[in-house]
Amino acid sequence: MTIYLLVPFLVVVGLLQSTLIPRFAIWGVFPDLPLLLVVSWGLLRGSRQGLLWGFVAGLVVDLFSGAPFGAATVPLMVVGFMAGLGENVVFRNLLLLLLTIFLATVVYDLFFLFMVQISASPLPGTVHAVEWSGDLVRVIGPSAILNAVLGLLILGAMRALAPSLRRQDAGLAGL
């Protein structure tokens, strides 16, 4: 997918994530569509493409969220790159696919919370407090389970769509 299609596509996904998708909460959490798309594309096209999609999707998520800028970009780049390391390998086993998406969600969420925590403002009343134990149990666990199940649907759709898109590095030929 060229960068000219990638950016508008991920902007629309980011808008959906920040406006519509939270209305479909299950177990008090909702799916993370940008994360699922980044992981799926990384699995389909490799680390370089996963890194690129993570960067663009992260910028979009950061623009539309109230979190500190970069809190989503860096973690999405990491999980996109890491998912790309399993390019075409994890498709041999359904359990491995579920585990990959589950672990990508856990890594992303933990890294996101870490980024929020380290960017806490020293000004009174503006600190981004992270309650690690509560977030692990109430948010990250259910989110990882939900994303793993829905991730199979997203991955299936992306896998069906991938052959129709020309294989390009979207301007990353030098990396």
Q: Is residue 24 part of a domain?
A: no
pLDDT of 66 reads 83
Distance from C-alpha of 22 to C-alpha of 4, rounded to nearest angstrom: 28
16, with CB counted inside 10 A (0-12, 13-18, 19+), is middle
- Domain assignment present for residue 174? The answer is no
What three-state secondary structure class fits 129?
coil
Q: Does the residue 18 lie in any domain?
A: no
**Tens digits of residue pLDDT in 32-87:** 999 999 999 999 999 999 999 999 999 999 999 888 899 999 999 999 999 999 88
Please indicate, yes or no, if residue 50 is contained in any of the structural domains: yes
- Does 16 reside within a domain? no
Domain span at 152: 3-9+29-159
Note whether residue 164 is domain-resident.
no
Average pLDDT over residues 125-129: 55
Give the total number of structural domains in the chain: 1
Average per-residue pLDDT for the chain: 85
Q: If you write DSSP's letter for every residue of 13-35 in order, what string do you get? A: HHHHHHHTGGGG-BTTB---HHH
- Would 166 be classed as within a structural domain? no
